[in-house]
Amino acid sequence: MSLSEKKRKVKEAVLIPPHTHCKVCGKAIPEGQIYCSKECREKDLNRSKRDKRTMWIFYGVFMAILVVMLIVAYTFK
């Protein structure tokens, strides 16, 4: 790579408009957007839905254990 070519590359890097990266795949997208495509948006929505469901399952299991412990404590006092 010649010196002038290097200089041009640096100039191009400076000229890249403000941008952000897709939350899912990391692709460069215009600023203000979160996802590069509908597919990535759906992927992220599905993931957060699954995370929420997992959280509720854990919560349910925790409550069940608590109730069982209360029943056991009440029965054997």
- Site residues, Zn ion (CB under 5 A): 22, 24-25, 27, 36, 40
Shortest separation between residue 15's beta carbon and Zn ion, angstroms: 23
Place of tokens 């412990």: 69
Name the residue nearer to Zn ion (CB basis): 26 or 60. 26
Tokens of 67: 């109730």
User: 44 and 23 in contact (C-beta within 8 Å)?
Assistant: yes
Which residue's entry shows tokens 């692709």? Answer: 27
Q: Hey, what are 54's tokens?
A: 């997992």
Rounded least distance, CB 58 to Zn ion, Å: 29
Q: Which is nearer to Zn ion, 25 or 67 (CB)?
A: 25
